[in-house]
Structure 1
C-alpha cells in the first residue's frame, strides 16, 4: 500500500485518510495543477499481478468516459510502486451504508426515491457496455445535496477466497450474483441482483447475506433463495415483495431483463397505471397528487421528517428521548438547531451555551425545540430548487405567521403558545406544498388571481382539482399531524368571527388571524394597510384583546424575530420581496430606528458555539461495518472523524451538565444529556443507560440514543450475581473496559450469551457508575466494526468526568 508518510501519490498531495478496507485506502488529496480537492483510492493485492493492474486500468479508462449526474467521475488512473490508484471527484457527504446505520430501515417510498437515481446511473453505464460488478451501499454516496451517486463502476477489487482451489473473484461476496459465483458470468442481470440486495438492505435495515467466512457467504448466495425473514419485523405488501424477489431470483433468466425493467416496475408500484376509483372525489385527487409528489426525490425526506416529529408531538411529553433521537439522526439539523438555541434571541429566554438537544428541551421546553426543528427542516427542504426564490417567500410568510400567533397568544396570557406556533406555520400548508411540488400549476394559479379571473380557492380547484386548504389538510393527515393542528388549517367563514370556546377553536382563530396579518403585509398597498388592519381587527375583535398600538408593537417584535432567524439560517432579506414588504411596514410604523441594533443582534446570533464542520462522531460519521474483505471504507464520502471536535463536544457537554446540576433538575434529564454528549462526540452506534434494580439485584436497560435504542435497551437485563464475564468484571471492580473485538479468541469466551444473542456488537465500552464501590448504574456504548472505537487519553479523561457527573447527580437526587 502506498505509504501515507510520503504525503504524495503521483502529483497529488495527501491531506488525510478518509476510509480504509482490507485491500484499499481512500485519501482526501489536493491536485496542485487544477487547485482542487480530489479523492484517491489505492488498491493493493497480496499477490502482485501487473496483468490484472493493466486490465483494471483499461476498465477505469472506459469508466472515465461516463458522464451522468448520479455517477462519481474518475479523473485519472495510474500506478505507483506496483499499486493501482484511482482519482475521483471528491463528494462531501456519507455513503448509503452510513446513512442506513444512522436512520435504520427506510419506508418503501424513501428507499425507492434513493434507488431511482442509482438505477438511472447503472442503466447509463449498461448503455455504454459497462457492468458495475460491485454495487453495494458503501459504493453509493449521498452528497450533502442529498443526491445519490454511484462510484467504482467496473473496477471491483479482487477477492481471494479461503477455498483450496485458490479461486479469485471480483467484487464483495455479500453482493455477488449466484451465476458469477458459480460460473464467473457477469451481465446486466448481475447488477440487477446487486440492486435487489441494496433495496433489501434499505427496506429491512440489515444485509441480506451475513457471515464471517467468505466462502460460507458465497455458498449461501449461490444455493439459498433470499427472503425477508418473518423475525425481521418488516412487512412488505405483495406488489413490492414481488418486485424485490424478482430482482433477487437465483436464476438470472427469472430476474428483470434490465435495470430499466426494474425501474419501471418500481415506478408502477409508486404510481399504478389504473388506480382504483374512489367514491370520494376529493380523496382521489389527493391520492393522485401524492403519487406525483412521491416522484420527487426530496418528498420522502420531508414527509418522513415532519411526520416523525409530529407523531412525537402528539404523544406524551415522556417522548423527549424520541424527539432527541429523531433530530440526532441528522447531524446537519442538529447543529443548526443548536445554533438557534444559542442565538441572541433564545439567550433572552434561558438559552445560550447549550450543546445538546436534551439540554435544549430542558431549558426551552419540549414544544419549543420541536417547533424549531420543524421550522429548520421545512426551510432546509426549500434549498436548491429551481423555484427556490418563491419557496423562500412562502416560508418567510409562514414563519412570520407562526411567530405572530405565538407572540399574540403570549400577550393575551393564553396557554398552548407553542401549539399555536405550529398550527399557524402549517395553516397554509397547501399553498406551500403546491409551490414546492407543482411550480407550473402554482404560477398559473397566481396568474389567474392577478388577472382577477377568480379567487385563489377557485383558481386552485380549476388548476389542481382541489383547493389549497383541502390539499394541505389531506397531506397533513398523511404525515400524521395531530387532529388539533389539522383542524386549525380549516378556513373561517366570512364575516365577524365568534368568540372561540374551545382550545381547538382558539388555535384555528389565532392561526387565521396571524395569516391574515401576513396577507396584509404581502398583498396590500402601503397606503391601504391601516384601513385593512382595522378591518381585520374588527373581524377578529371578540377573540383579540390587543388594541391597535399593542398589536403593531407585537407585529414589530415578531418581525425582529424573523430577521434574526433569517440571519442564522442564511436568508438574505434584501433579496426577498416579503422581506422588503416587512421593511416598508416597519418603516411606516416608525420602527426603523432600531436597525443598527438589530444588525448587531443578528450578527451575534449567527455565531455558534459549534463548528460548521461536522463534529467527530456526529451521527452518521462513524465508519460502517462492511465485508471482512472490503471493510467499511468510507469511500469519497469525506465524513472523517476529527479528534479536536470530539473534545470540544465533550467539554461543552460537561458545561451543560454543570449548569443543570445547579438547577432544580430531574435525574433522567441529567443522564440524558450525558448520554447524548457521548453519542455525538464519539459517533457511537448506540449509547445505553442501565440502572440497578435493587429488588432483583439485576442491571436493567433504561433508555439511550441510536438506532433501535429503546428496543436494544430492553435486552440489557442481567443478574449482578457473580459470573466470569466482561460486564461483571467492570461492575464488580468499578473499572472502565473497552472491548476492541468481541470475536477475539481471548475475549469471546467472556462475552455473555444474552449479549451475543441480543446485541452482538463488534466493539463496545463500559463505564460503571459506583457509589461506595457498589455499582448503581452503567453506561454502555458500541460500534459495529471491531477496532472502530478509539479513545484518546484526553477523551477518556473527559468521558470519565461525564461519568462522575452522573454519579453526583444520582447522589444528589437520592
Structure 2
C-alpha cells in the first residue's frame, strides 16, 4: 500500500492552485473529446484551433515543414486545408502537443522540463507511426495516450525540479528499485501522479488507463484498452532511448539499445528489429520537425545519421530546384489597415485559391470541407470578425447559417437565419440580382434601410460587410456573409475582388457537380 506523502499532496495543491493549468486542462479535454472523424468533428477542431491565434500559427508552420510538405511545395495557409492534407488525427495530435508545450515550456524554463516535453513529443510521434502500421481501430487514442504517458514527470519536473532530480538520480543508480524510490519520495509512481491530474482535467478514462505501467513481455491482444496501454508504454520507452542524456549508453549502437524493446513489445505490436529501424527513422525525423516548430530544444535526441548514415532524403535532394511559394511566416507577419484587414490580403486570397484548387483536384473532397476553407480564407485574408455560409433549408422555408467561423461563431450561427420569402432586404436583393456586395461603411442610410431587423439585433455594431450570393441557374441556394465592427475605408481593389469571385466560383463549381 502506497503511503500518502506530504510531497505528493503539496505538489497537487500547487498544481491545482496554478491559474494557467485549469485553462490548459480545459483546452486539452476539449481536443480529446473531439473523437469522431465526421464532418462536425473536423469543423469543431478547425474552430477550436482558429480561436487560438498562437495555436493556429504553430499548426500552419508545422504543416509547411519538410515532413508534411504538400506535392509541388504549395504553402498551406488555412487550418481546414491542413486538416484535409495531413488528416484529422495528425492535426489533433499536433494540436495537443502544441497545447502541452505552450502550457509548460514558456513559463518554466528548467532543462528537465524541456527534456520531458521532448520525450512526450517523441512518444506521440512513435505511437502514431505504430498505429499507422497496425491500422488498429483505437489508433487515435494511442497517440494521445502516448503524449500524456509522462505527464506525471512533466508536472513534477515543472513544480519541484529538485524532487525530480533527486528521484532521477537515485533511480539511475538503482534502476531495479525505481518503483520503491519514487513511492518513498513522491508517495506514488509518476504514472499514478499523472493520472490524478488528468482526472482533474476530465480526460477520458480510456486515456488515463493507458498511463498504467506494463510488466514483462507483452502478448498480442484484441482488447482495445490493453492495446493502447501497450502502444503508450512502448512509445514512452522508445522515446526514453532516443532522448538520452547518459553519454555512456548513448555511445551504444541504436539496435543494441532497442533489443529489449523488440523482445518486450515486438510480438504484441507486430514488429521485429529490422522494422523497428524503419520506425526509428520516421520518428526521429518527424519528432525533430515537431519539436523545432514548437521551439523545444532537440539537442539530446539521437542524430538521424546515427540511425542510418546512408539514407538519402529523396524529396530533399531536389528542394533547391522547386519553384518558391508563399512563405507562411511572411504571411503571418503582415501589418493591417485600421479596419483589421491585412495589408497583404491579395497574397492571402491567392493562397486560399491555391488551397481550393488543390482540394478540388482530390476525389475525396467534401463540400462542407470546401465551404469551411472558403470561409476561413475570407475570414483571415480580409480581416473579418465573423463569417458564415447561409444555405437554403427547404423544410423550414428559411436560409440558415450552416457553417461559421470567427468571434462568437456558434451563438451567431444559430441566430443567423431569414425567410425564403422576399422581404426586400439587402440579402434578398443580392440573391435576386446575383450580385456580390462589398459594403465599406454600413452606417450609410441606404444600407441601414436595407438591413433587416433580425440582423440589427444580432449584429448591431456591424460597420462593414460583404454578401456573396450562391445562385445556380437562377435558383438562390444561399450566400456567404462576413463582417467587421470597423469601417473599411481602404475598400476592395479589383485584384482582390477577382480573387474573391474566383473562390466563390470554385465552390459553385463543386456545388454544381453535386
The aligned residue for residue 290 of structure 2 is: 565
Relative to structure 1, is the Cα distance of residues 728 and 454 closer, same or farther in structure 2, using a 3 angstrom cutoff? same
The aligned residue for residue 97 of structure 2 is: 375
1:537 to 247, 259, 262: 262
TM-score calculated relative to the size of structure 2: 0.86
1:485 to 207, 222, 238: 207
Distance across 2 between alignment mates of 1:330 and 1:791: 27
* Count of residue pairs the alignment pairs up: 506
Relative to structure 1, is the Cα distance of residues 539 and 779 closer, same or farther in structure 2, using a 3 angstrom cutoff? same
User: Is contact 2:255-2:273 (8 Å) kept?
Assistant: no
Deviations 1:368-405 (A, max 9, x none): 11112222333344444453432222122222222223
What value does the CA root-mean-square deviation take over the aligned residues? 3.6
User: Is contact 2:60-2:328 (8 Å) kept?
Assistant: no
Distance across 2 between alignment mates of 1:283 and 1:654: 59
Deviation at 1:345, TM superposition (A): 1.8
User: Is contact 1:403-1:421 (8 Å) kept?
Assistant: yes
Relative to structure 1, is the Cα distance of residues 528 and 741 closer, same or farther in structure 2, using a 3 angstrom cutoff? closer
Distance across 2 between alignment mates of 1:567 and 1:352: 21
Structure 1: gaps (5+ residues): 1-279, 625-639
1:501 to 218, 222, 227: 222
| Deviates most, 705-714 or 297-306 | 297-306
Secondary structure of 2:401 counterpart: strand
Secondary structure of 2:310 counterpart: helix
The aligned residue for residue 799 of structure 1 is: 500
Deviation at 1:431, TM superposition (A): 0.7
More helix by share: 2
The aligned residue for residue 750 of structure 1 is: 450
Bigger CA radius of gyration = 1
1:705 equivalenced with 2:405 (yes/no): yes
User: Is contact 1:567-1:602 (8 Å) kept?
Assistant: no
Deviation at 1:714, TM superposition (A): 1.8
Distance across 2 between alignment mates of 1:603 and 1:446: 45
User: Is contact 1:615-1:681 (8 Å) kept?
Assistant: no
Distance across 1 between alignment mates of 2:426 and 2:11: 56
Deviations 1:58-114 (A, max 9, x none): xxxxxxxxxxxxxxxxxxxxxxxxxxxxxxxxxxxxxxxxxxxxxxxxxxxxxxxxx
User: Is contact 1:741-1:787 (8 Å) kept?
Assistant: yes
Structure 2: gaps (5+ residues): none
User: Is contact 1:768-1:778 (8 Å) kept?
Assistant: yes
Deviation at 1:800, TM superposition (A): 1.8
Equivalent residue runs for 1:373-522 within 5 Å: 373-385=95-107, 387-452=109-174, 455-492=177-214, 494-521=215-242, 522=244
Relative to structure 1, is the Cα distance of residues 301 and 623 closer, same or farther in structure 2, using a 3 angstrom cutoff? farther
The aligned residue for residue 309 of structure 1 is: 31
Secondary structure of 1:491 counterpart: coil
Relative to structure 1, is the Cα distance of residues 602 and 448 closer, same or farther in structure 2, using a 3 angstrom cutoff? farther
Deviations 1:531-552 (A, max 9, x none): 6633332233440322222222
User: Is contact 1:688-1:703 (8 Å) kept?
Assistant: yes
Deviation at 1:426, TM superposition (A): 1.3
Deviations 1:337-376 (A, max 9, x none): 2232232222379985332111222222211111122223
Secondary structure of 2:34 counterpart: helix
Relative to structure 1, is the Cα distance of residues 317 and 807 closer, same or farther in structure 2, using a 3 angstrom cutoff? closer
Secondary structure of 1:669 counterpart: helix
User: Is contact 1:334-1:357 (8 Å) kept?
Assistant: yes
TM-score calculated relative to the size of structure 1: 0.56
1:651 to 347, 350, 354: 350
The aligned residue for residue 615 of structure 1 is: 332
Relative to structure 1, is the Cα distance of residues 518 and 713 closer, same or farther in structure 2, using a 3 angstrom cutoff? closer
Distance across 1 between alignment mates of 2:218 and 2:31: 32
Equivalent residue runs for 1:85-164 within 5 Å: none
Deviation at 1:705, TM superposition (A): 0.5
The aligned residue for residue 273 of structure 2 is: 548
User: Is contact 1:285-1:465 (8 Å) kept?
Assistant: yes
The aligned residue for residue 483 of structure 2 is: 782
Distance across 1 between alignment mates of 2:296 and 2:316: 14
User: Is contact 1:769-1:807 (8 Å) kept?
Assistant: yes
Distance across 2 between alignment mates of 1:598 and 1:395: 29
| Deviates most, 734-743 or 468-477 | 734-743
1:769 equivalenced with 2:470 (yes/no): yes
The aligned residue for residue 223 of structure 1 is: none
The aligned residue for residue 436 of structure 2 is: 736
Secondary structure of 1:767 counterpart: strand
1:365 equivalenced with 2:87 (yes/no): yes
The aligned residue for residue 341 of structure 1 is: 63
Deviation at 1:500, TM superposition (A): 2.0
